Structure 1
Amino acid sequence: MEKLWEEVRELSLGTSTQVERLDSPPSPLQFLRDFVSPNKPCVISNATLHWPATTAWTSDSYLLQTLASATVSVHLTPTGRADALAPHSSALCFASAHVQRIPFPFALTAISNSNLDAKFVAYAQQQNDCFRSEYSGLAADCETHIPWASEALGCLPEAVNLWIGNHLSETSFHKDHYENLYAVVTGEKHFILLPPTDVHRMYIRNYPAAHYSYSRDTGEFKLELEDPVRYVPWCSVNPFPSPETKDAEMSEFPLYFNGPKPFECTVKAGEILYLPSMWFHHVRQSQDSRGRTIAINYWYDMQFDIKYAYFNFLRSIDDLTVGEVKCVESFSDASACDSGDE
């Protein structure tokens, strides 16, 4: 496994931990040849400065006026970590956010008022092509697709999603079966990336699914396991363990903490990250002067070709030899702990 990590970096991705940056958008041929084909990420500067969104979305009055009648989905958690591992009783579960559909002006207020002391963090992050549905009023402010990417990939995006949050929102390690063009409009996004060949370093295990429920009356969250029980295969690694748990987590997940350093990049307003399909990514963000980060991403269908088959083969080796896909203790139905597809 260690030899695989080394060769992927030496022969394809490079030995630097910094993601390659381009000063301007590539031609479709360059994008396909240098990044899509080798499954290699890059950050493109000066990619969206021509969008009206880069100036219009910095104005609360514009957003409130344009989306005055829109009802949007807001994800609520006590920590800012939706779709992530959380403690439940004496073990961990896969916790999904409480989702509320509310008028956009109320959503913007909830995001602005997010506070860890109050154990309340709101994040507009509905991943169901929400930009072309819930936020269609903003459609004229940015491109419907990324032209050079669409030509290179031979298709239009399957989904376009909008993300509005503040510095408290965080996305745990996961992967997507899409070619992802991620454009930051305001604020900054901080990505930690690992290639699909490093799947064994993610310690994917099966965790029981749970959901947060939020009471407006008490202002409190309750985390409840699904009934009947359902298991979700999820990455176990937190790249930023607390000082209290750091030693224990480094000991439990040595392949991650002792292996090659992951790739890192910060995507600023006006820039696009090309995040190749199947790459594992963890995301934090920095807010702008108004206390928000806004981004839009374009999901293009990936090709389920030999790379996908190779990834599944690696995953099977991981399950058989590394042996890190384990049953989660303290929960019943051990047969549900078999490794499953994401």
Structure 2
Amino acid sequence: MDDIKLLNCFEVLANEAKDLYIRKDVPVIEHPISPLEFHRKWVSPNLPVVLKGAVNHWPAIKKWTNDYLRSAIGDKVVQVAATPNGYADAIADGYFVMPEERKMAVKDFLSVLEEPESLPGTILYVQSQNGNLSEDWVDLVKDIESDLPWATEAFGELPSAGNFWMGDERAVTSMHRDPFENIYCVIRGHKDFILHPPTDLPWLPYATLPAARYQIVKKNSSSSKFEIVPLTSGCESKTTVVKEQLEDQEKNYGKPCNGSGLNELSVEDNMGRLNNLRMDEEHSVEGGNCESFDQVGSSHVPWICIDPEKPDLMAYPLYSNATQVKVRVHEGDVLFLPAHWFHHVKQSHQCIAVNFWYDVRFDHRYAYQAFITALLQNSGLNTGCPPLC
């Protein structure tokens, strides 16, 4: 089958999905939901839904003020992501850049959120996604439930991990997808999601770029300066080469990328693998040297290289076929974000959220995503998408 015919087939798939079951908005359910209804209407068809007020009964909704957090766990030292631009785990200057990870007391973190100008040039965000709810933030679990009973019964198992999120309104989670069923609970403020259904995979371009980490090199009362430190086995700069590769990827989006090296896919498309890169304490940066990858893993990461808020349709014309689904999740609400749905996230200032990851079932949904991925990887329409994990 030639690429034009294959492109037409992908268009049929996306259009049929939109016509039959994918909505342009996320439904909001305002009544308590049973495990059976949740599974039948939302889990089985792999559709997102907002459950209005589903965690309003949690004590955390009223208790988790900054004053309470200071009094309850103010001296607790936690892990915080620091970036110069609010983008952790995102593409910058031809690299896939992870945040600088800092250890700081909760009370100090709260002070910076309350007065961002007290730490100029730095944006902080608690977003480690490594099951931190049972570690750094375990003292707060008493104010919530350890799982959502209707979700646990529907999935047939307890969550595999729980995560605590809190941060600056400037912090952004770039577009990606996770191999987990995600129950996302907003406790304070609101979260704004831009979603793409799995059938949009053919329209979402990836670039496979060398991994790096932000490192602060200048810090004083008036400003902070970060540099991007490559996580490579050597310390030579790859910025020029990688930028040229990224430009080639943009020019050839929807065409073969032979010889560019951007389709050598060696890192799984999930945040769990990235956490292993971030959390490896044995490979910390010292003296501005490159971080070693000898024991961490591959030094290249495939990542979606389009900004859904400002998509460059000249560079990525196929994105015009994609379907953006936007939803704001308010305090007390729960978003069910199905596995393999692409998502980009922003939030209100000092927003707090907790999410639970449930392991995905490897059924027909996984099979058809793997099939679409294989078709893309073996055609001239290769978007650079990595294999499904």
Normalising by the smaller structure, the TM-score range is 0.7 to 0.9
User: 1: CA distance between counterparts of 2:25 and 2:380?
Assistant: 28
- The 1:79–1:116 alpha-carbon spacing in structure 2 relative to 1, beyond 3 Å, is farther
Per the alignment, residue 224 of structure 1 pairs with 229
C-alpha root-mean-square deviation of aligned residues, in Å? Answer: 1.9
Q: Structure 1 residue 339: deviation in Å?
A: 4.6
Per the alignment, residue 65 of structure 1 pairs with 71
Which of 257, 260, 268 is the matching residue for 2:330? 268
User: 2: CA distance between counterparts of 1:234 and 1:127?
Assistant: 17
Letter in 2 for 1:109: S
User: 1: CA distance between counterparts of 2:348 and 2:69?
Assistant: 20
CA contact (8 A) 1:167 1:286 kept: yes
Which of 343, 348, 364 is the matching residue for 1:306? 364
Q: Structure 1 residue 132: deviation in Å?
A: 1.2
Per the alignment, residue 30 of structure 2 pairs with 23
CA contact (8 A) 1:114 1:122 kept: no
CA contact (8 A) 1:189 1:285 kept: yes
Q: Structure 1 residue 309: deviation in Å?
A: 2.1
User: 1: CA distance between counterparts of 2:315 and 2:114?
Assistant: 37
Letter in 1 for 2:18: R
What secondary structure, in the 3-state scheme, does the structure 1 residue paired with 2:313 have? helix
Residues 283-337 of structure 1: CA distance to partner in whole angstroms, max 9, x if unpaired?
Answer: 11123xxxx11100011111122211211111121223353446xxxxxxxxxxx
> Unaligned 5+ residue runs, structure 2?
1-9, 234-297
Which of 9, 13, 18 is the matching residue for 1:4? 13
Q: Structure 1 residue 151: deviation in Å?
A: 0.4
Per the alignment, residue 278 of structure 1 pairs with 340
CA contact (8 A) 1:78 1:116 kept: no
Higher relative contact order (CA 8 A, sep 6+): 2
What secondary structure, in the 3-state scheme, does the structure 2 residue paired with 1:310 have? helix
Q: Structure 1 residue 234: deviation in Å?
A: 0.7
CA contact (8 A) 2:302 2:386 kept: yes
- The 1:282–1:185 alpha-carbon spacing in structure 2 relative to 1, beyond 3 Å, is same
Q: Equivalent residues in 2 for 1:91-106 (5 A)? A: 92-106=94-108
What secondary structure, in the 3-state scheme, does the structure 2 residue paired with 1:321 have? coil
Letter in 1 for 2:13: L
CA contact (8 A) 2:132 2:163 kept: yes
Per the alignment, residue 233 of structure 1 pairs with 302
What secondary structure, in the 3-state scheme, does the structure 2 residue paired with 1:251 have? coil
Q: Equivalent residues in 2 for 1:1-342 (5 A)? A: 1-14=10-23, 17-57=24-64, 59-87=65-93, 92-114=94-116, 118-215=120-217, 217-218=219-220, 219-228=224-233, 230-241=299-310, 249-256=312-319, 258-287=320-349, 292-325=350-383, 339=386
CA contact (8 A) 1:205 1:324 kept: no
Q: Percent identity?
A: 35
Q: Structure 1 residue 237: deviation in Å?
A: 1.2
Q: Structure 1 residue 216: deviation in Å?
A: 6.2
CA contact (8 A) 1:183 1:272 kept: yes
TM-score (norm 1): 0.87
Residues 119-144 of structure 1: CA distance to partner in whole angstroms, max 9, x if unpaired?
Answer: 21000111111111111111111111
Per the alignment, residue 329 of structure 1 pairs with none
What secondary structure, in the 3-state scheme, does the structure 2 residue paired with 1:237 have? coil
Residues 91-125 of structure 1: CA distance to partner in whole angstroms, max 9, x if unpaired?
Answer: x2111000011111112223334369932100011
Letter in 1 for 2:124: A
> Unaligned 5+ residue runs, structure 1?
327-337
Per the alignment, residue 330 of structure 1 pairs with none
User: 1: CA distance between counterparts of 2:128 and 2:117?
Assistant: 20
**Count of matched residue pairs:** 313
Q: Structure 1 residue 236: deviation in Å?
A: 1.1
User: 1: CA distance between counterparts of 2:35 and 2:388?
Assistant: 32
- The 1:28–1:319 alpha-carbon spacing in structure 2 relative to 1, beyond 3 Å, is same
What secondary structure, in the 3-state scheme, does the structure 2 residue paired with 1:252 have? coil
Residues 185-227 of structure 1: CA distance to partner in whole angstroms, max 9, x if unpaired?
Answer: 1111011111111112111221111100124645221101111
Divergent runs of 4+, >4 A: 338-342
- The 1:341–1:93 alpha-carbon spacing in structure 2 relative to 1, beyond 3 Å, is farther
